[in-house]
Amino acid sequence: MPHRHWCERLLWTAITIGAVWAALSVSLGQLQRYNDNPTVVTLEKDYRGWQYSLPAITLCPGNRTDPIKMIKAIKKRWNLCPGDERYTYYANFVIAVANSDLFHLQDYEKYKDDDSLDVDLFGLAVEVMPELLMKISSSQPVTFQWVPVMTESGTCYVTNSVATADLALIKLQGNSTNTPITCHYTDTVCYVIFEVTKTSYYYIHSPYDVAKTSDRTGKVYPSLNRFIELTVTETRTGHGVRELSSRRRSCLYHDESEEGRQVYSTQMCRLSCRSRLALELCGCRPFYYFYEAGPFCNPAGMWCLSKYSKRLANFGGIKCNCQASCLHAEFKEKFVEDKIWGKGPFQDRGALRLSVEAPRTRYTREIVFHFEDLVVSFGGAAGLFLGASFISFVEIIYFAMEKSFKFFSREAEIQPVTKQKRPYQERLDEVGIMLKSLNSRQIP
Dihedral sign from CA coordinates of 110, 116, 120, 124: negative
What lies within 8 Å, CB to CB, of 298 at 6+ separation is: 117, 118, 121, 284
The total domain count for the chain is 1
Q: Looking at the domain assignment, is residue 376 inside a domain?
A: no
Q: Looking at the domain assignment, is residue 426 inside a domain?
A: no
What range defines the domain where residue 207 resides? 47-62+131-367
CB 122 within 8 A of CB 296: yes
DSSP count for the chain of H helices, then E strands: 11, 16
393 confidence band (pLDDT: 50, 70, 90):
confident
pLDDT reported for residue 362: 93
As a three-state string, the secondary structure of 416-431 is CCCCCCCCCHHHHHHH
Residue 52: phi and psi, rounded to 5, are: -125, 155
pLDDT at residue 175 tops 50: no
Q: Looking at the domain assignment, is residue 168 inside a domain?
A: yes
CB 53 within 8 A of CB 329: yes
Q: Looking at the domain assignment, is residue 273 inside a domain?
A: yes
Q: Which amino acid belongs to residue 285?
A: R
Dihedral sign from CA coordinates of 320, 277, 217, 125: positive
At 371 the three-state DSSP class reads helix
Q: Looking at the domain assignment, is residue 245 inside a domain?
A: yes
Strand 251-252 and strand 324-325: the pairing is: parallel
Q: Looking at the domain assignment, is residue 421 inside a domain?
A: no
Torsion of the alpha carbons at 124, 126, 131 and 136, rounded to the nearest 10 = 150
CB 157 within 8 A of CB 113: no
Question: b/e for 267-292, b at 16 or more Cβ within 10 A?
Answer: bbbbbbbbbbbbbebbebbbbbbbbb
pTM exceeding the 0.75 threshold for the entire prediction: yes
126-146: pLDDT as tens digits: 999 999 888 898 988 888 889
Q: Find the mean pLDDT for residues 357-366.
A: 92
Q: Looking at the domain assignment, is residue 323 inside a domain?
A: yes
Cross-strand bridge partners of residue 193: 137, 353
Q: Looking at the domain assignment, is residue 342 inside a domain?
A: yes
Cross-strand bridge partners of residue 236: 364
pLDDT reported for residue 413: 47
pLDDT at residue 68 tops 60: yes
pLDDT reported for residue 412: 47
